[in-house]
Structure 1
Amino acid sequence: MQHAFLTNSPAEMPNWIDVLASAVGHRGRPLHQKHVKAEGQAWQNEGVMSPRMRQRIRLIAGVWLGWTIAGLFYIIQDTVPRLYRGGAVPWKYVFVGWMTGVYVCAALTPALLWLGNRWPIERRVTYAALHLCLSVVFSILASTIEVPILLLLGVFPALPPPPSIAAGVRIMLSFGLQGGVIRYWAVIALHAVYRSQKNAKTREREAFTLKVQASELAQQLATAQLSSLKMQLQPHFLFNTLGAIMVLIQQQKTAQAEGIVEKLGDLLRLTLDDVEAQEVPLWRELEFLRLYLSIEQVRFEDRLRVRIAPTTLSEVLVPHMVLQPIVENAVRHGLGQSEEAVTIEVVANSSNGSLNLIVSDDGPGLLSPRPGRPGIGLTNTRNRLARLYGDSAHLVIGQAEGRGVRVTITLPIRTVPPEGSRCD
């Protein structure tokens, strides 16, 4: 094992990479050998290194560079006092001896990283105690590997050289056991810090992903509510309109029947044009409302009067069809509970940086609360406002001055659609 690490031969490199990458990037689970072989084959076939392979090579280079820097630090620490005292420096013993020791540690680092992932010291106190025992084992193992190399290179730091490897290990441990323990804990601690930072970044990414998913779900819900509102509008509105057209034809009022058919076509065209839009300019919403009310006026004739006040806020964005259920309620309940003519007025103004959409009528007003839950149209409108604007939007229903009902919708003023408000 030691020889393979030191030679770094191409035949042995995939196993070395597998051990290191599994320790650092896969929480202790070794990569399947076929994945490494497949990536190596793809690299050879395409002549381009894969991102995962580049990451692993950077990890390997980082480990060996880190231990090289540590070795140079040991060398400086050993030579500076000698030079300061004016003594001779045995460069061969100092340089080769220290670098051999740190490179043995570098070769064993993948095993330490695996142990750190297998028993994370930050999770349990018992894991810290286990690593204390393992650090002693590591120091003995590192010395056992280091001694024959030093003897082979002729740089063993003791004279005369020991008669056997076992004797050399005993000599090394007599003054170097704590050094191996310190190196073990340095690797485990740095790996724990790295793992903690990586987990924190992972949690941040997951939180961001969940936030994006929640935003997308809210957008989908708002779109579903808008579709529900349109589905609710079209069937009964179309039936009522077709019934009015049949009455006009039976009364031989052909011109009026043709006019209502044309307006109905324009209304449906507007609905289809903005089928995916969450927000539209106010002028387009009022145009839709005029067509809708003009058709209702044909049905109710002189009993329904409409006034849409001019406004300078035509480019302000509003939720599509936000006024239709409000006006529909005014027509249904205002005319349904009164034999007299009813006037519906729509006003748009601004105050305190907000847009106010006001729909009022002079019908019977809020005579008594109806039993049961509020209508689907108003419920959907409130939910849509909450989804799109949060606490910045409000819908208030109250008694109008004199008589009738007044509904006020307050929205934040904005003229540029936010990203994702339209699906083109």
Structure 2
Amino acid sequence: METALIFAAWTVFGLISANQVYVQFELFERPIPWRHALLQGLFEAYLWAFATLAIFWLARRFPLERGRMLRGIAVHLACALVLSLARVAVIVEVSRHVDWLGERSFDRQFWGRFHQYFLYYALLLGIAHAVLYHGRYRERERAAERLAAGLAEARLQALKMQLQPHFLFNTLNAISALIPDEAKPARRMVARLGDLLRISLEHEATQEVTLREELAFLQPYLEIEQARLEDRLTVALEIAPETLDARVPHLLLQPLVENAVRHGIAPRIGPGRVEISATRGADGRVLHLEVRDDGPGVDRDVQAGTRKGVGLANIQSRLEQLYDGQHRFEFANHPGGGAVVRISLPSRRADHGAGKEGSAR
């Protein structure tokens, strides 16, 4: 689209230039055929059209902006000289083979129009920057529109969430009241489910918590799964004491453990094991988290990253937003069998009283 507009604009310029050439020769009583004037006007205009494409590319590659101004000016001065020399060389060479350009001398062409070529280059460079900045402005506008649409959707979702917790807790209380007193495991599962929902809602605005708090959040879910699967599920925690005060994303472990239970333990008839570990790197700057199961492992599509569940995709997206590439996320088969998720994060200790308020970003 941009190339078509450039050639269309220069075509109009060439037609106007051809008309001026034709009229000038008529005034000096040296008439030339209109066809010659048209060819000369369009030829020189299209040379500028190709130069314009080059200038627009150079403007994107070497923009005149803060921090790179001197480098950009030097590059564009050199390019203006090269394009001027190339333009004159093409005109002089073509004039040797056609009669409608007239006799052209390299020295006369270059030194006679040197200032004009630099003026044209500067003008076209300014237009290129105007187009570049307009494109950036439009992109920011579109990003703002997407953000506004997302904010409106989030507000509607928040209104729905304000109604849902009351309904959920009332329903759980009603279910618990209907369960006979002798069915203590069922009552305990309902109570743990209520705890899990309450914790999720109380910390919905929290981005980071301490690992100690994250493990406490995980406990109700583990009790529900162990009550459901009974002796088929064993959970082993290997948490280094020095990692308990480290900051981690809120609700990071629960989806990972849920994924391990759902895909590694639940489909099996026999017993299974989920291991959760946390250690610090040798220099103390990196926190290593690992969730492993001894199930059937990961198929090729998942291991290659071409097919990934919603939970894992959301975790990876959150890590990218929170740590901006200062993390590592790996989901693969463990050499000893089963699947393993390894996450490495910057090891940052929580401030005093961190948690809901202190760790939120």
Q: TM-score, normalised by structure 1?
A: 0.40
Asked which structure has the greater CA Rg, the reply is: 1
Q: TM-score, normalised by structure 2?
A: 0.46
